[in-house]
């Protein structure tokens, strides 16, 4: 079975095509912006234009726009190819990439959020979440993240804030999506924003 993985929830945009558990081809770019323009051409450049029986997509947290773009593209490809579409949490993938580099151990993930906050969550050596996802100001994030190993775009800043630990500056990469356990993929494609939206509906008088 072929699997297409899509991850554009952060500043990075990446795609990967797998045959079983073997990576056939992939692409990773740190864009910052422009995911909507880059994603479909990146998929089209894969073998057989990326066509697969299963699609994996990052559901966040991360950029509000990037999360929505990735999920919308996955839904569209899934409809066109009659493929199964599953989603995974971005921070879980970052933690899995850190364990691949540093060995099985607990990992705290700290990623850039909005309004000066960081998305923070810790994972065990088996990949299971040790706590809930939170969006915190740096001082609170440093208190919440207990594992010595910290990964993500704010890893170095969190280690400095905390005063100890090892930092890995990592952005998620779809080419590593199969590091995740099968139970971390879900049919729930709703975005995982990690914090309340900035815009609020007006309350009725």
* Banded model confidence at residue 201, pLDDT cuts 50, 70, 90: very low
* Banded model confidence at residue 196, pLDDT cuts 50, 70, 90: low
What's the pLDDT at 184?
Answer: 96
Each residue's pLDDT tens digit, 96-142: 999 999 999 999 999 999 889 999 999 999 999 999 999 999 999 99
* Banded model confidence at residue 28, pLDDT cuts 50, 70, 90: very high
What's the pLDDT at 123?
Answer: 97
What's the pLDDT at 26?
Answer: 98
Each residue's pLDDT tens digit, 167-180: 999 999 999 999 99
What's the pLDDT at 198?
Answer: 47
Q: What is the side-by-side order of every strand in the sheet holding 54-58? A: 22-30, 12-19, 2-7, 54-58, 84-88
Angle, nearest 10°, between helix axes 35-44 and 64-81?
30
Number of structural domains found in the chain? 2
* CA nearest to 174, candidates 2, 59, 57: 57
Q: Are residues 82 and 180 in the same domain?
A: yes
The pTM assigned to this predicted structure is 0.92
- What average pLDDT does the segment 192-197 reach? 68
Q: Are residues 132 and 69 in the same domain?
A: no
* Banded model confidence at residue 38, pLDDT cuts 50, 70, 90: very high
192 found inside a domain: no
Q: Are residues 84 and 9 in the same domain?
A: yes
Which range marks the domain in which residue 65 is found?
Answer: 2-89+173-184
What's the pLDDT at 31?
Answer: 85
Using CA atoms, how far residue 34 sits from 66, 72, 78, 141, 170, in Å, is: 9, 15, 22, 29, 20
Q: Are residues 120 and 178 in the same domain?
A: no
Q: Are residues 83 and 102 in the same domain?
A: no
Q: Are residues 113 and 58 in the same domain?
A: no
Q: Are residues 134 and 159 in the same domain?
A: yes
Q: Looking at residue 156, which CATH number applies to its domain?
A: 3.30.420.40
How many angstroms separate the most distant Cα atoms in the chain?
58
């Amino acid at each position: 079975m072929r699997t297409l993985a899509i991850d554009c929830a952060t500043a990075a945009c990446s795609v990967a095509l797998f045959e079983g558990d073997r990576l056939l081809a992939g692409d990773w770019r740190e864009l910052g912006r422009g995911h909507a323009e880059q994603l479909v051409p990146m998929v089209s450049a894969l073998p057989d234009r990326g066509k697969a029986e299963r699609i994996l997509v990052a559901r966040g947290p991360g950029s509000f726009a990037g999360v929505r773009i990735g999920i919308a593209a996955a839904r569209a490809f899934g409809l066109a190819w009659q493929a199964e579409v599953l989603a995974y949490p971005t921070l879980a993938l970052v933690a899995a990439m850190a364990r691949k580099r540093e060995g099985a151990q607990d990992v705290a993930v700290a990623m850039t959020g909005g309004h000066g906050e960081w998305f923070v969550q810790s994972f065990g050596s088996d990949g299971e979440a040790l706590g809930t996802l939170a969006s915190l100001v740096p001082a609170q994030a440093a208190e919440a993240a207990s594992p010595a190993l910290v990964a993500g775009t704010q890893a170095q800043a969190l280690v400095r804030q905390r005063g100890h630990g090892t930092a890995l500056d990592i952005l998620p990469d779809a080419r590593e999506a199969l590091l995740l356990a099968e139970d971390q993929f879900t049919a729930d494609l709703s975005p995982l924003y990690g914090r309340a939206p900035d815009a609020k509906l007006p309350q009725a008088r």
